[in-house]
Structure 1
Amino acid sequence: MTRGITRRALLGSTLLGGAGLLSGCGFQPLYATRDGGPPTAELASVRVGLIPDRSGQLLRRALEQRFGSGSGVPGQYELKTTFQTGIEQEGFRRDGVATRSRITATAPWQLYTMSVPPVLVASGTERSFDAWNIPDNQFFAADASADAAQQRLVVVIASDISEKVALALRARNRGTT
């Protein structure tokens, strides 16, 4: 019993010490409140431009959800991006029929102020890939797998872009751009 309490006390003091070290080095969670105001208000001021094609529309919707667009916050920034995908066959049977497909997504993006003239705040290119097996004589399953892979890519790319935008806005506010 005493040994369990000692271990708990040691674990608790280690966790508190670690938290103290992190706060001492300036660590701050990306989406935490700071200076009494939520950082989500600044992210909500990002407007996402139109992105062509169905996958682009899915990416735009995912980005708007991550930023909290449409929450009544006036727009200060505009995010322009495109979304390109490419599919290649990877695995092949002896008769030459593909057994596996790989989809690669690329999304170059630029964040501008909505001032006149617009000022480039940040830019980058996010890439990700996914793959799926193509079952024999099950075309519906192959289509469903391809759609699911595309959805996963949209989520990953949206997450990566929103994280980079949040970091760029934080750096801009601190004057370290």
Structure 2
Amino acid sequence: MLKPLVLVPLSLALAACGLQPMYAGGSNAAVAQGLAAVEVPPVPGRSGWLMRNALQERLGAAGDASTRYRLDVRLDESLEALGILNDDTISRERRILRARYQLIDTTTGEIMLDATSGADAGIDVVSSEYATIAAEQTALENLAEEVADRIVTQVSLALREAAQAE
């Protein structure tokens, strides 16, 4: 019986902390409309193609809107040897994908967001070269998805701040 009495003050404190749903209003919300208005220019390379597709999937989820923002993305990727055996063969690799991105308001030319994000994944190097290459490619695909999620979160926050300032 004591638990409901404890939960009431806690719920009132949480309500007073200022947390608000970012996508309140669904596809008509300012953030959702802002995300739909972001254009992603082509990014060079296979990792760029993967990143651009992942970003377009996430940004276009709110529907179509006229382009107001441009998201410029530059990628840096690497594959490093982590584990080296006594016979100088590599037993483990780390694939790293880093992105530097800028959200630009195309109507004013203002840079609304200038940030970086990245992720890395470990890969076991096995005796089959095909399996190792497939693992490296899968890791790159997964990293592009993960970094795209992080970028869209930061872009959403920047768009929410801009909408609140207006």
Does residue 155 of the first structure (1) align with residue 133 of the second (2)?
no
Look up the SS of the partner of 1:96 in the other structure: coil
For residue 82 of structure 1, give the secondary structure of its aligned residue in structure 2.
Answer: strand
Q: Could you say what secondary structure the match of 2:21 adopts?
A: coil
Paired position in structure 1 for 2:135: 145
Count of paired positions:
165
| Other-structure match for 1:130 | 121
Aligned counterpart for 1:62 among listed residues 51, 54, 75: 54
Q: Are the aligned partners of 1:47 and 1:69 in contact in 2 as well (CA < 8 Å)?
A: no
Partner of 1:170: 160
Gaps of 5+ in 1: 1-5
Q: Structure 1 CA distance, aligned partners of 2:4 and 2:142?
A: 37
Which amino acid in the other structure matches residue 146 of structure 1?
A: E
2:90 to 81, 93, 98: 98
Contact 1:46 1:69 in 2 (8 A): no
Higher relative contact order (CA 8 A, sep 6+): 2
Higher Rg of the two aligned structures: 1
1:37, CA displacement in angstroms? 3.7
Q: 2:105 maps to what in 1?
A: 113
* Secondary structure in structure 2 of the residue aligned to 1:108: strand
User: Following TM superposition, by how much is the alpha carbon of 1:72 offset from its aligned partner in structure 2, in angstroms?
Assistant: 2.3
Q: Is this contact kept in 1: 2:35–2:62, CA < 8 A?
A: no
What secondary structure is seen at the aligned counterpart in 1 of 2:119?
strand
Question: What displacement does 1:24 show?
Answer: 1.4
SS at match of 2:131: helix
* TM-score, structure 1 normalization: 0.83
Q: Which has the higher mean CA deviation after the structures are superposed, 60-69 or 97-106?
A: 60-69
The residue number in structure 2 matching 1:3 is none
**Structure 1 residues 19, 40: CA separation in 2 closer, same or farther (over 3 Å shift)?**
farther
Query: CA separation in 2, counterparts of 1:41 and 1:166?
Result: 10
> SS at the partner of 2:24?
coil
Stretches of structure 2 that go unaligned for 5 or more consecutive residues are: none
Secondary structure (helix, strand or coil) at the match of 1:83 reads: strand
- Secondary structure at 1:147's aligned position in 2? helix
CA RMSD of aligned residues (A): 2.3
Query: What secondary structure, in the 3-state scheme, does the structure 2 residue paired with 1:41 have?
Result: helix
